[in-house]
């Protein structure tokens, strides 16, 4: 029985999969090989690049024009800047891969002469040179996870590959493909031996092209899901397919993880006589986020990088980006953002929810002991939003200066703190949907609160769409005058209420001016805009 794969390379016999060679332009790749080019293939983690490289290796060896081998250098990461150990690890791995994939034992049998003491600075170059001279066909070598190497180890690796470029193909590989998350131009290598930062572009200035593997497009997502239907006769409803596309925007790991959760882990989904519906997909999304599965957990590490913070922080605030293009490209290469006609946006709705939750994990835990969800639920089951926001208003006045100082993303601190507060209150009861409007100076929150009891294990908001309380909360930072900020915010809040189909709207204005007292900042008032009442909260 095939299944949706979320760990390691895809095997089309075991997994539902798209043909790996169709993930990139094979004709372009073959042209680069014919032209003896050295180039880069990069993509965010868990998007299928390893599967595609293995498929390309098999294709080239089957065609017979080249001898192609794939080698993952990640084993050398543990050596850090011990160049000798790292080079030895890579040469050993390369020899093992040549034996496994090509039945060629030359590198393993001759390995000791390449690893002679003192020769580790040329070990890879010597290995590749001797192997190319022995081979009866041009060599194509694919090195994966190159950007897992660091410091002098990475510099030595890149320079050894560069050193043999002029001897190709008779005495060096005809083509070398470097694979990783980032483009080589984004390598910022801290070289202890040279006491300076070396850029990847200077250490590997023979790169001809940088090819990037993208996410699945919508028809590819649907094709992948339909493979399960063909194998099992279990259908996905049109709403479920659309929901998977909406939540993931085609990110391959997320697509497979949602589909696996719905079809193989959720009890109802394992019943092949039942169609996979939107309820199951929504539940699967919540399960993935709650478990902090490895892929999502890795987002936390990426968010700590300063180059990432410079891009993500203004996006969380709804401010215009004022950063170098290199930083935007870097964060896009990591898969955290995507470009649209309206500008960069968070890559997909799941990331949009995970990012603020990851940035406020400790705050949510600290708030857990302070606020009980039951305090804000009325007897009729509705959430008392006025009481909820009044409580946050009081908390923000008393504790914001101390709490905001803890944030690495200080500029987005007010928005993040409020989301942490709301997340604590709605956990296990409701849901928050988030939108970040680049350049619109606002953050849009839609709080969904169920009004009927659901069967055990079923999130109520996904089952009874008609009995969900919808609350729009618009967050704005005061940058202009208070009156102008409120006028602009009312218009934006009204538009968001209209789009969400609710009459319950709240505008929260964070006044960060240091020369204004808290008595002036804290207020509540009701406003009317085009026939709708909107509650305005000053903080």
3-state secondary structure of 170: coil
* Contact between residue 437 and residue 318 where contact means Cβ atoms under 8 Å apart: yes
Please give the average per-residue pLDDT across 163-181, as a whole number.
94
Please give the average per-residue pLDDT across 125-135, as a whole number.
96
Separation of alpha carbons 9 and 3, rounded Å = 13
CA-CA distances (angstroms) from residue 325 to 199, 319, 328, 343? 16, 16, 5, 13
Tell me: pLDDT of 524 over 60.
yes
Structure tokens at 254: 């997320």
Structure tokens at 296: 């999502």
Q: What is the pLDDT of residues 259-311, one digit of tens each?
A: 999 999 999 999 999 999 998 999 999 899 888 877 888 887 889 899 999 99
Partners of 524 in the β-ladder: 537
pLDDT at position 458 is 55
Q: How confident is the model at residue 186 (pLDDT cuts 50, 70, 90)?
A: low
Structure tokens at 483: 């009156």
Separation of alpha carbons 347 and 15, rounded Å = 25
What residues contact 27, with CB distance under 8 A and at least 6 apart? none
pLDDT at position 461 is 45
Q: How confident is the model at residue 511 (pLDDT cuts 50, 70, 90)?
A: very high
Structure tokens at 392: 């946050």
pLDDT at position 264 is 97
Dihedrals phi, psi of 501, to nearest 5 degrees:
70, 50
Q: Which of 96, 86, 97, 108 lies closest to 158, judged by CA?
A: 86
pTM of the model: 0.84
Structure tokens at 480: 């202009």
Cβ count within 10 A of residue 111: 17
Tell me: pLDDT of 526 over 80.
yes
Q: What is the pLDDT of residues 315-356, one digit of tens each?
A: 988 888 889 888 998 899 889 999 888 889 999 999 999 999
Partners of 339 in the β-ladder: 344
Q: What is the pLDDT of residues 54-108, one digit of tens each?
A: 999 999 999 999 999 999 999 898 888 889 999 999 999 999 999 999 999 999 9
Separation of alpha carbons 129 and 139, rounded Å = 10
Q: What is the mean pLDDT of the chain?
A: 88
Vertex 353 angle, CA 536 and 454, to 5°: 85
3-state secondary structure of 220: helix
Q: Where are the alpha helices (DSSP H) in 164-317?
A: 200-203, 218-232, 238-248, 252-260, 278-291, 294-303, 306-317
* Contact between residue 343 and residue 438 where contact means Cβ atoms under 8 Å apart: yes
Range with the largest mean pLDDT of 137-141, 365-369, 517-521: 137-141
Tell me: pLDDT of 463 over 50.
no
Q: Which burial class, exposed, middle or buried, applies to 417 when counting CB atoms under 10 A from its CB (0-12, 13-18, 19+)?
A: buried
pLDDT at position 297 is 80
pLDDT at position 436 is 82
Tell me: pLDDT of 196 over 90.
no
Q: What is the pLDDT of residues 465-494, one digit of tens each?
A: 458 899 999 999 887 789 999 999 999 999
Q: How confident is the model at residue 464 (pLDDT cuts 50, 70, 90)?
A: very low
Tell me: pLDDT of 168 over 70.
yes
Is the preceding omega at residue 169 within 30 degrees of 0, hence cis? yes
Q: What is the distance, to the nearest Å, from the Cα of residue 510 to the centroid of all Cα atoms in its chain?
A: 29
pLDDT at position 319 is 84
Separation of alpha carbons 144 and 178, rounded Å = 6
Yes or no: domain 19-212 corresponds to CATH 3.40.50.300: yes
* Contact between residue 164 and residue 38 where contact means Cβ atoms under 8 Å apart: no
Tell me: pLDDT of 495 over 90.
yes
* Contact between residue 346 and residue 337 where contact means Cβ atoms under 8 Å apart: yes
Separation of alpha carbons 278 and 78, rounded Å = 43
The residue whose two tokens read 């890559």 is 347
Dihedrals phi, psi of 72, to nearest 5 degrees:
-90, 125
Q: How confident is the model at residue 438 (pLDDT cuts 50, 70, 90)?
A: low
Q: What is the pLDDT of residues 233-266, one digit of tens each?
A: 999 999 999 999 999 999 999 999 999 999 999 9
Q: Where are the alpha helices (DSSP H) in 115-264?
A: 123-134, 151-163, 200-203, 218-232, 238-248, 252-260
Separation of alpha carbons 267 and 456, rounded Å = 12
Q: Which of 64, 86, 63 lies closest to 74, judged by CA?
A: 86
What residues contact 86, with CB distance under 8 A and at least 6 apart? 76, 79, 80, 149, 153, 156, 157
Tell me: pLDDT of 117 over 70.
no
pLDDT at position 455 is 52
Q: How confident is the model at residue 121 (pLDDT cuts 50, 70, 90)?
A: confident
Q: What is the pLDDT of residues 30-56, one digit of tens each?
A: 999 999 999 999 888 888 899 999 999
């Amino acid at each position: 029985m095939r299944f949706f794969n979320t760990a390691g390379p895809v095997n089309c016999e075991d997994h539902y999969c798209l043909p790996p060679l169709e993930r990139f332009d094979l004709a372009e790749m073959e042209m680069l090989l014919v032209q003896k080019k050295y180039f880069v293939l990069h993509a965010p983690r868990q998007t299928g690049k390893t599967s595609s490289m293995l498929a390309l290796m098999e294709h080239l060896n089957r065609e017979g024009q080249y001898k192609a081998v794939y080698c993952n250098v990640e084993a050398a990461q543990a050596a850090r800047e011990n160049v000798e150990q790292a080079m030895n690890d890579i040469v050993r791995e390369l020899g093992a891969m040549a034996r496994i994939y090509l039945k060629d034992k030359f590198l393993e049998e001759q390995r000791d002469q390449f690893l002679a003491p003192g020769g580790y600075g040329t070990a890879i170059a010597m290995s590749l040179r001797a192997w190319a001279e022995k081979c009866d066909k041009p060599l194509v070598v694919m090195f994966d996870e190159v950007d897992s190497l660091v410091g002098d180890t990475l510099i030595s690796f890149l320079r050894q590959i560069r050193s043999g470029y002029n001897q190709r193909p008779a005495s060096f590989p005809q083509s070398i493909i470097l694979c990783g998350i980032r483009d080589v131009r984004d390598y910022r290598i801290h070289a202890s031996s040279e006491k300076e930062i070396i850029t990847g572009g200077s250490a590997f200035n023979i790169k001809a092209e940088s090819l990037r593997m993208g996410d699945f497009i919508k028809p590819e997502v649907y094709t992948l899901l339909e493979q399960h239907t063909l194998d099992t006769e279990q259908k996905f409803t049109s709403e479920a397919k659309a929901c998977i596309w909406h939540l993931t925007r085609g990110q391959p790991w997320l697509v497979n993880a949602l589909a696996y959760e719905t079809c193989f882990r959720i009890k109802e989904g394992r019943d092949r006589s039942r169609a996979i519906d939107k309820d199951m997909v929504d539940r699967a999304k919540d399960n993935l986020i709650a478990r902090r599965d490895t892929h999502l957990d890795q987002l936390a590490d990426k968010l700590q990088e300063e180059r990432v913070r410079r891009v993500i922080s203004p996006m969380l605030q709804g401010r215009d980006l004022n950063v170098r293009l290199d930083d935007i490209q870097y964060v896009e290469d990591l898969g955290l953002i995507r470009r649209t006609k309206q500008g960069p946006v968070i890559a997909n709705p799941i990331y949009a929810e995970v990012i603020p939750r990851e940035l406020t994990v400790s705050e949510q835990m600290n708030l857990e002991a302070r606020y009980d969800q039951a305090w804000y639920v009325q007897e009729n089951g509705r959430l008392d939003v006025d009481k909820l926001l009044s409580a946050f208003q009081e908390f923000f006045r008393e504790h914001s200066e101390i709490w905001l100082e803890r944030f690495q993303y200080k500029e987005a601190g007010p928005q993040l703190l409020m989301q942490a507060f709301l997340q604590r209150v709605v956990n296990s009861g409701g849901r928050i949907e988030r939108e970040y409007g680049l350049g619109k100076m606002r953050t849009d929150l839609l709080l969904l609160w169920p009004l009927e009891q659901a069967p055990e294990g079923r999130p109520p908001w996904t089952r009874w769409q008609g009995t969900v309380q919808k609350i729009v909360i618009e967050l704005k930072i005061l940058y202009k005058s208070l009156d102008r900020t409120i006028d602009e915010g009312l218009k934006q809040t009204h538009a968001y209420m209209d789009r969400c189909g609710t009459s319950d709207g709240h505008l929260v204005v964070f006044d960060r001016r240091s020369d204004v007292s808290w008595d002036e900042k804290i207020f509540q008032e009701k406003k009317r805009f085009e026939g709708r009442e909107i509650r305005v909260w000053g903080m």
